[in-house]
Amino acid sequence: MNHHSLEEWKQYARGELHPENRTAYDHHLDHCDDCLTLYMNAIEATEDELPEIENPSLYTDDLMSQLPFESVETISVKKKWFENRAFHYVLAAAMTFLLMTTGVFSQLTTVPKEFELNERSSFTEDVLNKTTSLLDRVEEEK
């Protein structure tokens, strides 16, 4: 890889190179970390030679005014009546009131009581008991 000297990078930073050479230097910077470090040093060294911007905010405003901006039209989307947040709150309140007055919530409280009163063993317990009794019979036959 052909590396460049600090003076060559200073010329590159000042814009004194031919456009074809600039392209080669650009490509070289993409692939060589050592030359990138030299280039950064060249920028720091030539920083004093570069002209200063007298009023940076005016310069920025002038530059921004020269950029082509496309006007973006805002499109107002009208929500449907059932997409309104207030509609959802009213609907939830109405459903809660309806369920409370019909007694659905009071019936839900009786379900755990019925479950506790049901003394039927679970499926897992039935399988465990049958497996244990089978193993006991197999041991007795030995």
DSSP, residue by residue, 69-80: ---------PPP
Q: Which amino acid is at 19?
A: P
| Model confidence pTM above 0.85 | no
Residues 6+ away with beta carbon under 8 Å from 16: none
Confidence of residue 25 (pLDDT cuts 50, 70, 90): confident
> Is the pLDDT score of 92 beyond 90?
yes
Taking residues 134-142, report their average pLDDT.
86
Contact 33, 68 (CB under 8 A): no
What pLDDT, on the 0 to 100 scale, is given for residue 28? 87
The one-character DSSP state at 51 is: P
